[in-house]
Structure 1
Amino acid sequence: MPNRLSHATSPYLQQHADNPIDWYPWGSEAFDEAARRDVPILLSVGYAACHWCHVMAHESFEDAETAAQVNAGFVAIKVDREERPDIDAVYMAATQAMTGQGGWPMTCFLTPVGEPFHCGTYYPPTPRQGMPAFRQLLTAVTTAWTEDGDRVRTSAGQIAAQLADGAAAALPPAPVDAGTLDDAAATLGTGFDATHGGFGGAPKFPPSMALEFLVRHHERTGSVDALAQASVTAERMARGGLYDQLAGGFARYSVDARWVVPHFEKMLYDNALLLRVYAHLARLPDADPLFGRVAAETAGFLLADLRTPEGGFAAALDADTDGVEGLTYAWTPVQLREVLGDDDGVWAADLLAVTDSGTFEHGSSTLQLPADPDDPARWARLRTVLLAARSERPQPARDDKVVTAWNGMAIQALAEAGAALGHPEWIDAAAEAAELLLSRHVVDGRVRRSSRAGAVGAAAGVLEDHAVLADALLALHQATGAPRWLDAATGLLDLALQRFSGEEPGAFFDTADDAEELLHRPRELTDNASPCGSSALTSALVTASVLVADGGRYRDAAEAALRSVGTLASKHPRFAGHWLTVAEAVARGPLQVAVAGPDDPGRAALVAHARRIAAGGTVVVAGEPDAAGVPLLADRPLVDGAAAAYVCRGFVCDRPVTTTAELTAALLLRP
């Protein structure tokens, strides 16, 4: 019989709707019931595409005896971390404080007022590798609660107070200037894997924000090392099993240091961030053609595999297929020959590093592309055949939840890449997704976190939702010239400054001042799998500061935010990639290009050229001189009746230019 999760909008909660455990969604009903029964709360946090979440569900949550023990001694709450990142942040801080590590599934035991007293991650059904069995843990917690409840409550209260103090602590402010950026690039270099690319050892996650910073650092300073680190990493990732050589798109991470064996889930945010990186690399002089191809294929993956009927983008493809990782994606030499025939099968196995012994599990291999094919036409033909054959296999489940922030990342990536690489259809897709978010996710003037099948969820948007969506709309404004996107973006920025600002200059909380009260108000400063809300907001503020007439207040807020993380950026650049990317834009002014003129081939040539070669973070707009709703075009007259490009750095503008050669010279000047 379905439990209380059967009507949830979250696919992850729906996955547990038929568990014998009497799950509650997060809310007052669960906490009231725990208080009434005087039992602790079992809080389980995960997400739909999480492999180990599925494993623990099958091993424990679907087991009748385990469920009976949970139901008798606990009130069980299930939370989708993607739908409620605020709850996840609060209890992940507790888990990391107690265990020194974190991850999902996250398993926390709380008092009836939500204070944590024991936290961990995955627990097996039987003791394994030093971990207790889940039922052993349940028994131990019940014993402690019934026999020493006062001490447990006191300890939980102390833990909650310490977590609140830690969340409120601020780093010493420090400038993020040119010297800081040089030091950050040098520090990143000390951990660079020159052979395989990336930073550090296994497991390896795509360092998308660090790569974007390195590319921008190269563009501003000419650093050969920064460009080499970004290029080598991008090339190795794209040639490894991390990248889907048949359908495009990147998996979540590689379990090895060589990018060979991925953790197969495909996340929207990873692919959106990586699309920006590859499009940016593709625009550089003498770029490897691989980067443009991967950008196009990744955009194609977003549009083909993650697009929802409403025009948004789904959150993820699952790591598993029918409970088996890699079932859809791995191949053996025999399977290649069965699909392609002997000659083509042998050739493809050699090209794709599919060996008799296998690079993955059970003699199968992930598909790699260590070198370009000697016969591109042959590979194009065989790739089509293999993809068609793969589509007949069982497919991973898709999490159709449309997350505001992650869709914002996709909108921004598609708008920027479409404008730079000449794909107007990507811009159209970005605009359609933006329409969906503004029409469905903004309710009574406030942003909601997610929707599914067009039905918006109840969870309020957090800072990253407001910030990333604003940045995306600013990118759409630049790509299309439509003032409505600028108006919507500034409305979001004003709302964010009003509702998410802290007392310290440049400080922003992840939840609004009128959001549900949790143990403490979370405030994340580090960039992890995606930009933190504060760095995303700072990015949008910097861009908006040169697009609106009264942009000084946005610039002041952005500079204060950067100073607040100067210590983090200089000492731990791997966890401040987006902050550093924003700081590079500030160090350049940011650079602005306003192309004024009638809608004719002359203006089109100038704006296309600017989008193609301007450094990352450059603001580019085009339109009629003094176009309504586009302040950057104010007082930008034609030159001898022809379209003209005005290049500005900060508050200083060069003389207008009318040819692409002159524009190249103006844009390639370094500050």
Structure 2
Amino acid sequence: MAKNGQPNRLIHEKSPYLLQHAYNPVDWFPWSEEAFTKAEAEAKPIFLSIGYSTCHWCHVMERESFEDQEIAEILNRSFISIKVDREERPDIDHIYMTVCQAMTGQGGWPLTVVMTPEKQPFFSGTYFPKTGQGRMVGLREILLQIADLWNTDRVKVLAAGKNISQTLEDHLSHAESSGDLDEAVLQDAFHTLKENFDPVYGGFGQAPKFPTPQNLCFLLRYWKVYHEDQALKIVVETLTHMFQGGIYDHIGYGFARYSTDEKWLIPHFEKMLYDNALLAIAYLETYQATKNELFKEVTEEILTYIQRDMTAPEGGFYSAEDADSEGVEGKFYLWTPGEIKAILGENDGEAFCRFYDITQKGNFEGENVPNLINQKTLSQTKIFQEQRAKLLEEREKRIHPFKDDKILTSWNGLMVAAFSIAARVLEDEKWAQGAARCADFILKKLRNDNGRLLARFRQGEAAYLGYIDDYAFLTWGLIEMYQASFQPKYLQEALLLSQDLVTHFYDDQKGGFFLYGDDGEQLIARPKEIYDGATPSGNSVTALNFLKLARLTGQHEWEEKALGILRTFSPTVSQYPSGYSYLLMALLFRLSDTQEIVLVSPNGLSSLREMIREINHQFRPFTVVLAADQTLEKDIPFMKGYTPQNGQVTAYVCRNFSCQAPITDINQLQTLLDDSQIQM
């Protein structure tokens, strides 16, 4: 334990979150057999604390309790204490978060669980202050009461833990399929999102407001299929208002995690890689659909932020930036009029303050989060480009928020997808290069000797067998990489990963995919997740991945597996369709007329550029494109039959399992694509 500046066991870990607690006086263990063996030998309960490095309330609980000698003495005397980074161990986090939600009706981080040495939980909650405050009970009282109960009525505690664990296992085990999902769930989801839409400030529901980009991507596809203008309007207004708000960093770019108010004005200042990846995709697709230049510019700024601040020298992407700096939430991002004018000069400073709502009164604890909420002419942001650059240069001199520099395969997969779609839609090679560097790094460095994908890389160490999200999100990224570059290796890697996912994660009895593999640590339950929350679920992404792979390869078994996912979770999804918007994107792909285009060139990829540009010009979410290549013929046997017509670049277009005559004229291709209105 930490005493006189001596570290505890966490000092040997790679996780930034665990290392933040390495000098606590609490005798922390990482999740390990050592901890459970000691708990069993000493007949002590386990105190499990789960969080992540950029979690504001995790920091608060550490300062109040885990750095406190009195709390440490209670924990060290009566408990075995374990710290877990939820981003490294989503399997552990998912199981015990489900317990917390079931027991208390809510969840979040820090997650606090007390359990038996057999890992069976009997108490849970989230943040607790050291001592009681109003109706909130204090951690000190909780620990003393649990320790007393453990010593005086342990049989009752053990029985409670066993009952909760059995209930948990039943809850996490989805029933066998009971029918197909149909159009009704799509329409239910749309109407729920429409009812929850905020017509004044965009987004859904009341404060706090989260971006939920997969809802927006679903609505874009719903608009495309049903020609429902309201769906597109919701997307456009939400993305516009989010950009105007303080949730967007107008000086250094990128989005914060969420807004504490309905206007998107005051963010919770942490920035997460996954939010920015998914939002970049939403802005890109909406730019494709509307040709609104604002959405293109926001996308480019998000990816610029990622390249500048969140990219490792090896090519992978870092996980997050904290909300706090110097122990103060948001301090890095706040401004006063005096600071602005000192940097820009009186006249430019005055104009900037007026445009970005920087006032003497302030909008956050006497200082200001720059925003454009009251601006009607957003195109004028270009006028202040030079001033923003000066402010960014000055801001760089401040003490930066903590950066979680671990590289997670799952979140990197999302960013590979975002960079790849940007390369394809915006025709900018630098985004393709960013995607390739990351994808190549992950494929090279985050695999073990057996070829199994690994979940986390930091300081030269790759660790933890990959979870479903690692496989699903990286496969998504690789499919997008192939669609952007037509380099066969990325499609081949997507197929290999998908086969590995089936081998280790598929439930042959009830369908769907487990969160962790059959070769991973076996916990008290083996859950499957379908809810599309802060990120889409691995099952949802896998369903759409497999449908696309089926169209790209002609291998029908991928479609069967995707349909199995839809059937397995149909009872759950039917209860609240809007909670599964990414899965509904897979359903839309399944039910819509899809297009498969094979491009053949006698002169290599460069000669395909004009046809590729024509295909990418519009928003075509139900289209997949192949470039004929001999190295793919093993995986895609039907490709052998496609040859250039009359020595010219040729497009073979198939729609709804029916193929058209080969096309060599770009105008013919344009006409055919424009006539291909997607119908249900």
Q: TM-score under structure 2 normalisation?
A: 0.95
Q: Is the 8 A contact 1:625 1:638 kept in 2?
A: no
Amino acid of the residue matched to residue 531 of structure 1? P
Match of 1:401 in 2: 406
Deviation of 1:363 (Å)? 3.7
Q: Secondary structure at the match of 1:547?
A: helix
Q: Is the 8 A contact 2:176 2:510 kept in 1?
A: no
Of stretches 476-485 and 243-252 in structure 1, the one that deviates more from structure 2 is 476-485
Calculate the aligned-residue CA RMSD, in Å: 1.9
Match of 1:455 in 2: 461
Distance 2:472 2:548 in 1: 12
CA shift in 2, pair 1:611/1:173, >3 Å: farther
CA shift in 2, pair 1:176/1:615, >3 Å: farther
Of stretches 21-30 and 375-384 in structure 1, the one that deviates more from structure 2 is 375-384
Of stretches 602-611 and 661-670 in structure 1, the one that deviates more from structure 2 is 661-670
Q: Secondary structure at the match of 2:625?
A: strand
Identity of aligned residues (%): 37
Match of 1:335 in 2: 339
Match of 1:665 in 2: 671
| Match of residue 501, structure 1, among 506, 527, 540 | 506
Matched, 1:205 2:207: no
Q: Provide, for residues 338-366 of structure 1, a one-character-per-residue CA deviation record: whole Å limited to 9, x for no partner.
A: 22122111211111122222222234334
Match of 1:52 in 2: 57
Deviation of 1:425 (Å)? 1.2
Q: Provide, for residues 21-68 of structure 1, a one-character-per-residue CA deviation record: whole Å limited to 9, x for no partner.
A: 110000111011111111111000000110000110111111112111
Deviation of 1:504 (Å)? 4.1
Of stretches 538-547 and 254-263 in structure 1, the one that deviates more from structure 2 is 538-547
Amino acid of the residue matched to residue 36 of structure 2? F
Deviation of 1:134 (Å)? 1.2
Deviation of 1:546 (Å)? 1.7
Distance 2:162 2:575 in 1: 33
CA shift in 2, pair 1:351/1:138, >3 Å: same
Amino acid of the residue matched to residue 455 of structure 2? R
Of stretches 615-624 and 525-534 in structure 1, the one that deviates more from structure 2 is 615-624
Distance 1:269 1:60 in 2: 30
Deviation of 1:80 (Å)? 0.1
Deviation of 1:464 (Å)? 1.0
Matched, 1:653 2:659: yes
Match of 2:645 in 1: 639
| Match of residue 295, structure 1, among 291, 294, 299 | 299
Of stretches 232-241 and 370-379 in structure 1, the one that deviates more from structure 2 is 370-379
| Match of residue 74, structure 2, among 59, 69, 77 | 69
Amino acid of the residue matched to residue 72 of structure 1? R
Amino acid of the residue matched to residue 639 of structure 1? Q
Distance 1:148 1:474 in 2: 56
Structure 1 unaligned regions, length at least 5: none
Match of 1:592 in 2: 596
Amino acid of the residue matched to residue 578 of structure 1? Y
Match of 2:444 in 1: 439
Matched, 1:156 2:166: no
CA shift in 2, pair 1:438/1:591, >3 Å: same
Matched, 1:531 2:536: yes
Amino acid of the residue matched to residue 536 of structure 1? V
Q: Is the 8 A contact 2:189 2:581 kept in 1?
A: no
Distance 2:116 2:515 in 1: 24
Distance 1:601 1:495 in 2: 33
Match of 2:361 in 1: 357
Distance 1:202 1:45 in 2: 25
Of stretches 308-317 and 636-645 in structure 1, the one that deviates more from structure 2 is 636-645
Q: Secondary structure at the match of 1:5?
A: helix
Match of 1:4 in 2: 9
| Match of residue 622, structure 1, among 597, 622, 627 | 627
Q: Secondary structure at the match of 2:457?
A: strand
CA shift in 2, pair 1:49/1:655, >3 Å: same
Distance 2:198 2:237 in 1: 9
Distance 2:429 2:48 in 1: 46
Match of 2:395 in 1: 390
Deviation of 1:211 (Å)? 0.4
Distance 1:471 1:197 in 2: 28
Distance 1:307 1:274 in 2: 18
Deviation of 1:505 (Å)? 5.1
Q: Is the 8 A contact 2:285 2:619 kept in 1?
A: no
Q: Secondary structure at the match of 1:592?
A: strand
Deviation of 1:628 (Å)? 4.6
Matched, 1:80 2:85: yes
Q: Provide, for residues 261-288 of structure 1, a one-character-per-residue CA deviation record: whole Å limited to 9, x for no partner.
A: 111111111111111111111112x432
Distance 2:678 2:599 in 1: 20
Distance 2:327 2:131 in 1: 20
Q: Provide, for residues 208-229 of structure 1, a one-character-per-residue CA deviation record: whole Å limited to 9, x for no partner.
A: 0010111112122221011111
Distance 1:193 1:204 in 2: 10
Q: Secondary structure at the match of 1:468?
A: helix
Match of 2:321 in 1: 317
Q: Is the 8 A contact 2:39 2:46 kept in 1?
A: yes
CA shift in 2, pair 1:377/1:265, >3 Å: closer
Of stretches 593-602 and 518-527 in structure 1, the one that deviates more from structure 2 is 593-602
1:558-569 pair list within 5 angstroms: 558-569=562-573
Deviation of 1:490 (Å)? 1.0
Q: TM-score under structure 1 normalisation?
A: 0.96
Deviation of 1:589 (Å)? 4.2
Match of 1:555 in 2: 559
Q: Is the 8 A contact 1:595 1:633 kept in 2?
A: no
Distance 2:447 2:607 in 1: 39
Q: Provide, for residues 358-390 of structure 1, a one-character-per-residue CA deviation record: whole Å limited to 9, x for no partner.
A: 222234334346344575553011111111111
Amino acid of the residue matched to residue 644 of structure 1? T
1:216-365 pair list within 5 angstroms: 216-284=221-289, 286-365=290-369
Q: Is the 8 A contact 1:467 1:540 kept in 2?
A: yes
Deviation of 1:623 (Å)? 4.4
Distance 2:192 2:11 in 1: 49
Give the count of matched residue pairs: 668
Distance 1:125 1:92 in 2: 21
Deviation of 1:437 (Å)? 1.0
Distance 2:114 2:380 in 1: 58
Deviation of 1:634 (Å)? 3.8
Q: Is the 8 A contact 2:225 2:678 kept in 1?
A: yes
Q: Is the 8 A contact 1:252 1:262 kept in 2?
A: yes
Match of 1:464 in 2: 469
Distance 2:457 2:631 in 1: 39
CA shift in 2, pair 1:216/1:424, >3 Å: same
Of stretches 520-529 and 567-576 in structure 1, the one that deviates more from structure 2 is 567-576
Of stretches 474-483 and 420-429 in structure 1, the one that deviates more from structure 2 is 474-483
Distance 2:239 2:382 in 1: 24
Of stretches 165-174 and 88-97 in structure 1, the one that deviates more from structure 2 is 165-174
Match of 1:580 in 2: 584
Distance 1:616 1:441 in 2: 30
Structure 2 unaligned regions, length at least 5: 1-5
Q: Secondary structure at the match of 1:645?
A: strand
Deviation of 1:640 (Å)? 3.8
Q: Is the 8 A contact 2:600 2:649 kept in 1?
A: yes
Amino acid of the residue matched to residue 169 of structure 1? H
Q: Secondary structure at the match of 2:553?
A: coil
Distance 1:446 1:35 in 2: 32
Distance 2:193 2:216 in 1: 10
